Chain A
Amino acid sequence: MKKVFGILTVLLVGLTVLSGYFFQAQLSPVLALIFQTGLVLFSAAGLIGIGYLLVLHIRRVIRGEKRIIQSVVLLIAFLIALIAGFVLTPQSTLYRDLILNVQIPVEASLLAVLAVTLLYASLRLIRVRGWTPMSIAFLGSAVFSLVLNSGLIQVSETSLGGRILAFLERLPLVGARGILIGMALGGLVMGLRYLLSLDRPYGGE
């Protein structure tokens, strides 16, 4: 019985939204209701996810497990952000500085570490992958793109060299298009499997 409710819900919502791609004007009020309900549900689901994170770290603190200091720091930071957010509001400059001056340095630094890691990975590329058509094409394309991005080669677009350069510049487009079409086909199949309840990630098995 639970299964039936789940299947009916998926079908009803899914088919209505799909119909909205064809009958936008006629279904506008229904789509608006579906959208608003989804908005609220997504937010509630997000809060539940944050709740699970907190419960995990609270359990770690209570049980005195390893890395308890990090969990305490996490919980304290959460409380500060939560209380400040409700007191100061996200529009406040102080609150914005509090959040961005932690997020930007940490995330940007993690990305900076990636630059060094990619450099090391480039050195071992052929050792790991060997001389295959894909690795040779990868190398050639990477070097060519890096040269173009650095602005070392600048030619007029109307010249022969410019036209050849433009043709070579379009080659990554071919693979990207194939990958995008493949991804779209995969997404289509998965979406249909969800709608037809062949896969039920929401439970109800």
Chain B
Amino acid sequence: MPFLICPDCGAENPLTAEICQVCGASLADVIPMDMDNSEADDGENDEFTLFSAEDKDLPELLNDLKQDHEPAGGGLPEIDLAGEGESSEVDDTPEWLDVIRKRAHEELDAAGEMTQRIVAAQESLTRQNEEERADYASWIEELRKETREEAVSGTEGQEEEPLEGPAPEKAKKDWLSRVRKASGKLETHDEPNAASRNLLDWLVALEEEQTGGMPSGEAGVTQPVDLRQRAHADESTREVRVGDGAQQAVAPKRLDLSREEREQADLLATTIADESTARPVQPITFGRRRWWVEFILAFFLIGGICFVLFSGRLFLLPEPPVTSGGQAVLNSVADLPEDAELLLVFDYQPAFAGELEWVAAPVLEALPDSVKVSVISTSASGPLLADSMLERLEIIPAIDLGYLPAEAFGAYGLAAGLASTQAAEFLPKGASELFEGEFHGILILSDNAERARVWVEQLSALTPETPLNLLVTAQAGPMLRPYVDSGQVTGMMAGISDAAGLETSRTQGPNASQRWQAYQVGLLTLIGVLILGVLLNLRGGATQGDDI
């Protein structure tokens, strides 16, 4: 397909164009060209392999330029600074430009390949270290100086020594001088074709861009350049029109992406943009906390309990049951041999003293008199609570192992002591007692599933053969049941539900029945409130702004 080549920038223009679409030069006297005619140049252009099918990467090209003008595998034609070497064809158009145009004409994606290579080259350039860049920059500078000097001396030499080579030799020298001038350091001469300086200029500008020399224009935006003007060293890109006139100008950095990649890139861009956008925080409200509702509920609960406690009447509520959990612990304690040593671990807070005394009383009262009780605490108030409880139950401990901070650490220390066969002589008395103990059973009084779990883990890991029983509050029971089920714990009493059915001084003491019935009334109140809450929200829940 014929087209017009701009005499100034070398861009291809359609036949109908009157001025160049790139630089605006007049195309009035330009002879239409046909790409087919340029095929004859292929053979001689094989040396020029920048954009050849042999896939010469730009980094390799740049490396070739860095080296002593020795192209690898047929790269650029040698820059013959002495003016020797083969010449191109009669055409003023440089051979390499013809090859570029040919490839652009033949391969639809040539521009994309080029830009991809440009991007790949840019990336590889960024990866080079500072020294290489510095070397390269300094080498370029040297080259410019040399070419400037030699161009000056070559010009003089040309006057003294007439050209001996054929006419193409002279054309090549012209082209060469234009390449040298493209570095921007040489005086501009009449340039039959300014496009010839594009390659090196572009390479130099590319290198400058990587080292931080940004163009004076908008970053990342290519601008058409009037190549009739002197080349400016700070311009980094130029639009090069390739292909037929129907094609749009190619942005040098456009990548060819598949649809999926584009979607993912868009998603990423949206996500990144969305990250920094301000979002109004809208708190979800589920109704204001009505103090009068809470007051009414407290009134019913406390009133019901007080009525049962202080009325002196017994209501028709069932007696407390005898549960299997409670019975298992009692049996375990009752099975202790004579003169057995039992360890009591006090691991609860003062708030739960009332409940745990109710839970532990039937078990401790069932202990045979011959059993020797040792006491250890891993809660701060444990020693005081132990003294208080044992005094009330009239149990005198044989050994007080004191207090160990951090229940996990204390549990490990005790368990390791139980597991070891010898105590270290260098240990002070308190710690050494831990490592000399031998117990036939361990009773852990705990208010918290987490603390009891730590004890169970350490004791079952280090001394699995020692029977372990738990006396815990109702809140700890559900999360400790798996240990009972797996056999790590022999028995567990959780809350007064398990203990109230057993015959003890506590259950037979004053107000025992009233306390149990008050407990039942409290539980029934909660059941009623739960059902009321369901009935009030039968139509739906989780609505905003509604009040109870």
**Any A–B CB pair closer than 8 Å:** yes
Given the contacts A20-B416, A149-B495, A127 and B409 also touching, CB distance less than 8 Å:
no
Given the contacts A108-B351, A143-B527, A146-B527, A124 and B497 also touching, CB distance less than 8 Å:
no
B420–A123 CB distance below 8 A: no
**A28-B416, A91-B387 given. 10 additional CB < 8 A pairs?**
A29-B422, A31-B416, A36-B428, A42-B405, A107-B351, A116-B298, A116-B301, A126-B536, A127-B543, A151-B500
Within 8 Å by CB of B481, from A43, A127, A135, A172, lies: A172
Chain A 148-189 near chain B by CB (<8 Å), digits 1 or 0: 111110100100000000000010110011011000000000
Does B324 count as interface, using CB distance less than 8 angstroms? yes
Q: How far is the CB of A183 from chain B (nearest CB, A)?
A: 8
- How many interface residues does chain B have, given as a range? 35 or more
A127–B542 CB distance below 8 A: yes
Does A74 count as interface, using CB distance less than 8 angstroms? no
Does B354 count as interface, using CB distance less than 8 angstroms? yes
Q: Which residue of B lies closest to A98 (CB)?
A: B384
Chain A 124-141 near chain B by CB (<8 Å), digits 1 or 0: 111111110001000100
B533–A24 CB distance below 8 A: no
B424–A33 CB distance below 8 A: yes
Q: How far is the CB of A169 from chain B (nearest CB, A)?
A: 9
Q: Which residue of A lies closest to B414 (CB)?
A: A35
B541–A35 CB distance below 8 A: no
A46–B405 CA distance with the chains assembled, in angstroms: 9
A25–B417 CA distance with the chains assembled, in angstroms: 10
List residues 1-44 of chain A with CB under 8 A from any CB of chain B: 17, 20-21, 24-25, 28-29, 31-33, 35-36, 38-39, 42-43
B353–A28 CB distance below 8 A: no
A100–B319 CA distance with the chains assembled, in angstroms: 32
Binding site for B on A (CB under 8 A): 17, 20-21, 24-25, 28-29, 31-33, 35-36, 38-39, 42-43, 46, 90-91, 96, 99-100, 103-104, 107-108, 110-111, 115-120, 122-131, 135, 139, 142-143, 145-152, 154, 157, 170, 172-173, 176-177, 179-180
Inside 8 A of A103's CB, which chain B residues have their CB? Answer: 350, 381
A151–B320 CB distance below 8 A: yes
Does B479 count as interface, using CB distance less than 8 angstroms? yes
A96–B546 CB distance below 8 A: no
Q: Which residue of B lies closest to A135 (CB)?
A: B541
Q: Which residue of A lies closest to B425 (CB)?
A: A29
Q: Which residue of B lies closest to A114 (CB)?
A: B351
List residues 319-351 of chain B with CB under 8 A from any CB of chain A: 319-321, 324, 349-351
A157–B324 CA distance with the chains assembled, in angstroms: 10
Does B315 count as interface, using CB distance less than 8 angstroms? no
Q: Which residue of A lies closest to B305 (CB)?
A: A115
List residues 479-504 of chain B with CB under 8 A from any CB of chain A: 479, 481-482, 485, 495, 497, 500-501
Given the contacts A24-B416, A32-B431, A100-B381, A119 and B537 also touching, CB distance less than 8 Å:
no
A31–B352 CA distance with the chains assembled, in angstroms: 34
Binding site for A on B (CB under 8 A): 286-287, 293-294, 297-298, 301-302, 317-321, 324, 349-354, 381, 383-385, 387-388, 404-406, 409, 412-413, 416-417, 419-424, 426-428, 431-432, 434-435, 453, 461-462, 474, 478-479, 481-482, 485, 495, 497, 500-501, 519-520, 522-527, 529-534, 536-537, 540-543, 546, 548
A177–B486 CA distance with the chains assembled, in angstroms: 10
A142–B528 CA distance with the chains assembled, in angstroms: 12
Within 8 Å by CB of B431, from A28, A39, A104, A115, lies: A39
A173–B405 CB distance below 8 A: no
Given the contacts A21-B461, A115-B301, A122-B530, A180 and B424 also touching, CB distance less than 8 Å:
no
Q: Which residue of A lies closest to B391 (CB)?
A: A93
Given the contacts A90-B383, A103-B350, A108-B354, A123 and B297 also touching, CB distance less than 8 Å:
yes
A170–B432 CA distance with the chains assembled, in angstroms: 42
B286–A173 CB distance below 8 A: no
Q: Which residue of A lies closest to B421 (CB)?
A: A25
Please indicate which of the listed interface residues A31, A43, A119 has the most CB atoms of chain B within 10 Å of its own CB. Answer: A119
A198–B427 CA distance with the chains assembled, in angstroms: 34
A119–B523 CB distance below 8 A: no
Inside 8 A of B387's CB, which chain A residues have their CB? Answer: 91, 96
Inside 8 A of A32's CB, which chain B residues have their CB? Answer: 416-417, 420, 423-424, 427, 431-432, 435
Within 8 Å by CB of A124, from B434, B526, B533, lies: B533
A137–B209 CA distance with the chains assembled, in angstroms: 66
Within 8 Å by CB of B479, from A129, A143, A179, lies: A179
A126–B533 CB distance below 8 A: yes
A123–B541 CB distance below 8 A: no
Q: Which residue of A lies closest to B420 (CB)?
A: A28
Q: How far is the CB of A30 from chain B (nearest CB, A)?
A: 9
